[in-house]
Structure 1
Amino acid sequence: MSTGAHGNLTEGMSEDQLRDLIQGPGDIEWRYEMRRECQEILPGLLLGPFQVSKNLQVLQSMGVTHIVCIRDAKEAFSVRPRFPEHFKYLTLDVEDNEEQNLIRLFPGARQFIDQAIAQGGRVLVHCNGGISLSPAFVVMFVMQHYRLSWEDALHYVQNRRYCISPNGGFLTQIKEYESIYKATHAVASYPQQQRVVSRRKREDDEDEDEPRYDVKRPSRAGTTGDSDAMQT
């Protein structure tokens, strides 16, 4: 359910409606123990810690069908797919530090989430604590899904899972991703007809640059005269 396929989901919203969307439900009282649970960020997209992914009964009660397991390589022995016979997994091995390149890994995660939701599934995205690493991916997903600024997307996710806090390096990449997805959308939405016209104009310009040669043909009168001369 990406914006590329479904258009701008916030287009036509008033400022009040957009603010309400970002702020989320105002009747939730955040409790410390809720960081050990998962929260629904978008319809069909859940964000939480690894602890939730270990509880088959809880996962099934929430209707989870797909799981994005994001883990530091050093955690692979414990943070791993637990129920491959019940859920479809995408496992991403990363490093939870400021040098880790998330933007390179994000397109695969976004495609996995998009396809799952389009099929009517529900996706849990988790890392170990659900505080920094997995929220960074979800913020980028929300940003592109609703075509929000990075700040609005961050606030959107924070207002549904209050404990998130992407590290400084991840925040920098979240900011960078805003310009990347906007540029991608601008190219994709550039009118096809405009591209055809531009290409034709470029081809015409190239034709005009090529030298033209006039080939002189002998006149029929000249030809006839030569023929008569030969006959006499």
Structure 2
Amino acid sequence: MIDMTASHCYQEEINSTSNRSSILYSSPTWEYFCNASMQEIVPGVFLGPYSAAQMHCLANLREKGIRYIICVRQDVEAHFIRPQINDPSFTYLTLDIADQVTENIIRFFPKVRTFIDEALSKNFKVLVHGNSGNSRSATLVLAYIMEKFGLGLSEALDFVKTKRASVNPNEGFCAQLSEYEPIYKARQTLNNGESSFSNRIRQKRKSEQLSEAVNDICHYDLIQPPPSPISCDYGSLEDIMKNNSPTATDFSNHLYKLWLEQRPTLTMNNMDERLPV
């Protein structure tokens, strides 16, 4: 399983770039290469253009361990930006998203997070691509990284640009990414609180069940001490001795035998049945 949250080298790399501007690449050759190919942004998550997911790229995708692909396009692009890998070992998630400032892209963030997490849990890698791999698909990757590493938009964007310099979400997408930070943090806080509360409830319930079982055992099954011969209807022990009644020892033995006959029995099986499962 690919554990992104345990990738300390990437966490340190993100932290080291969070307080500085994104790296600028002035070479046209580098910009073209970066834009035309895919890059691994964080362990297991690649970002690139649609040309990186064509049939002639199948061997490269397999070599890198990519088996999950997120294809981002809008209706007018569907005739050429579409799932190209006709192989049952690949899993696709196709999203209809327009590269417009008014597009509601934030609604896709949870679905993308679930899809990527599923791939990583199976030890596969994911390619997220759109047309150029710089706006829509980049926004989805940014949202995932923000949530996984607890970053704000500025920190995440600076880091992603060190991997793929051409990344450039439109203004509307950047605004939604900024709005997403308090949303995912609030959800994480709520989930952590619910988890802690559920654990306390479970522990309390187990404790109550055990107490009830112990009380039941004590109430029904615990052996009570034999009755005192001094408190019986024959009077005190001195009266018994004066009237030439049976000796005190005989009398105690008699009461003890009666108690043995009437006492409730308690076996280990009885106790096991009363203990909570």
Structure 2: tracts of 5 or more residues without a match: 202-277
**Structure 1 counterpart of 2:94, one-letter code:** T
The TM-score normalised by the length of structure 2 is: 0.61
Shift of 1:128: 0.4
Among residues 115, 118, 128, which one is paired with 1:115 in the alignment? Answer: 118
The whole-number CA distance in structure 1 between the counterparts of 2:135 and 2:83 is: 20
Residue-by-residue CA offset, 1:34-57 (whole Å, 9 max, x unaligned):
210000011111000001011223
Change (3 A) 1:83 1:127: same
For the pair 1:19 / 2:15, whether they are aligned, the reply is yes
Q: Could you tell me whether the CA contact under 8 Å between 1:52 and 1:58 is conserved in 2?
A: no
Structure 1: tracts of 5 or more residues without a match: 197-232
The whole-number CA distance in structure 1 between the counterparts of 2:120 and 2:97 is: 24
Change (3 A) 1:56 1:156: same
Bigger shift: residues 65-74 or 81-90? 81-90
Among residues 157, 172, 197, which one is paired with 1:154 in the alignment? Answer: 157
> Where in structure 2 are the equivalents of 1:1-232 lying within 5 Å?
19-20=15-16, 31-32=30-31, 33-54=33-54, 55-85=57-87, 86-190=89-193, 191-192=196-197
User: Identity of paired residues, percent?
Assistant: 34
Structure 2 partner of 1:218? none
Q: Secondary structure at the match of 1:109?
A: helix
**Structure 2 counterpart of 1:75, one-letter code:** E
Aligned residues: 187
Which of structures 1 and 2 has the bigger CA Rg? 2
Shift of 1:153: 1.1
Q: After the TM superposition, list the runs of 4 or more consecutive aligned residues in structure 1 that deviate by more than 3 angstroms.
A: 6-10, 193-196
Change (3 A) 1:74 1:141: same
Q: Secondary structure at the match of 1:105?
A: helix
What is the root-mean-square deviation in Å for CA atoms of aligned residues? 2.8
Shift of 1:84: 3.5
Q: Could you tell me whether the CA contact under 8 Å between 1:127 and 1:134 is conserved in 2?
A: yes
Q: Could you tell me whether the CA contact under 8 Å between 2:5 and 2:148 is conserved in 1?
A: no
Shift of 1:62: 2.0
Bigger share in helix = 2
Residue-by-residue CA offset, 1:161-220 (whole Å, 9 max, x unaligned):
111000000000000000110110111122317986xxxxxxxxxxxxxxxxxxxxxxxx
Shift of 1:96: 1.1
The TM-score normalised by the length of structure 1 is: 0.72
**Structure 2 counterpart of 1:166, one-letter code:** P
**Structure 1 counterpart of 2:148, one-letter code:** H
Change (3 A) 1:79 1:37: same
**Structure 2 counterpart of 1:125, one-letter code:** V
Q: Secondary structure at the match of 1:82?
A: coil
